[in-house]
Structure 1
Amino acid sequence: MPVSAATSPIIPPQPELYSAPIKPHEWWRGTLPTVPATDDWEAVIDCVLRVEEGVSLVVLDGSPPRALTIPAPGAPVFGMQVWLEGSATLALDGGEPLRLNAGAGLLFNHEKPMRWAMQLHAKQRVRMVDVRFTPEALARAGDTTLVALLRERFRHDASVPAHGSLVATVDAPSSLRALANALSGDAPSSPGARRLWYRAKSLEMLSAFVQVLSLPQALCSPTERELQQLHDACQLLRERYAERWPPARLARAVGLSEKRLQQIMRDRLGRSVHAQLSEVRLERASGLLHAGASVTEVAWDVGFSSLSHFSKIFKARYGISPRAR
Structure 2
Amino acid sequence: MNPASYPPSQSAAPLAARRLTVADFTTYEHRYHLTHRFPSLPKRHCPHGGCMVAEGHIGECQPWRDLQLVGSDLNVYHTYETLAREDAPGHVSIIVMLEGCAELRLGDRHCSLTPGNGVLLAYAGAQRLSARHIAGQRVRAVNLTVLEQALEEDPRLASLTPLMQARGGLWSLSVSNGLCQSLAEWLSSRAQGAAALLQSEGLALQLLSQALATHDPSRPPPPSRHAEAPIASFRDHRLLERVRNHLDSHPGDAHSLQTLAELACMSPSSLREKFRQTYGQPIFDYLRERRLALAYQLLREGESVQQVATQVGYRHATNFATAFRQRYGVAPRDVE
> Which of 1 and 2 has greater Rg?
1
Indicate the TM-score class for this superposition, using the shorter chain for normalisation. Answer: 0.3 to 0.5
Calculate the TM-score normalised by the size of structure 1: 0.48
